[in-house]
Amino acid sequence: MYQVFESLDEFQEALLDYYLKTGYNIKLTRWGKDKKSAECGVEDAEHPCDWRIHCSYEEYLESGT
């Protein structure tokens, strides 16, 4: 499953909304200027959380027909 965002900032806002709804800690990383990654920051043996999500940004290119 995938979702499309208009920008990396919009992706980061969606992560913030998720955090506010669930209360789970999130670790956010960035690789270069066009990619971000996040993973669950919960370190609890009783309630393991091992998800990871990646986002990359591509400029929209209009076709010049």
Residue at 64 is within a domain: no
CA-to-CA distance for 13 and 7, rounded, in angstroms?
10
Query: pLDDT confidence of 63, banded at 50, 70, 90?
Result: low
Give residue 52's pLDDT band: very low, low, confident or very high (50, 70, 90): confident
Tell me whether residue 12 is in a domain.
Answer: yes
What's the pLDDT band for 5 if we cut at 50, 70, 90? confident
Task: Confirm whether 53 is domain-assigned.
Answer: no
DSSP per position, 5-27: -SSHHHHHHHHHHHHHHH---EE
The count of structural domains within the chain is: 1
Looking at the DSSP bridge assignments, the partners of residue 38 are 28, 53
Smallest Cα–Cα separation from 19: which of 64, 51, 57?
Answer: 51
Question: Would you say residue 48 lies in a domain?
Answer: no
Above 60 in pLDDT, residue 64?
no
Answer whether residue 56 is part of any domain: no
- In the β-sheet with 26-31, what is the strand arrangement from edge to edge? 26-31, 35-40, 52-56
In a domain, 31, yes or no: yes
Radius of gyration of the chain (CA): 15
Range of the domain at 1: 1-42
pLDDT for position 17: 92
Q: Could you report the per-residue pLDDT of 6-48, keeping only the tens digit for each?
A: 888 888 898 889 889 988 788 888 777 788 888 888 877 787 7
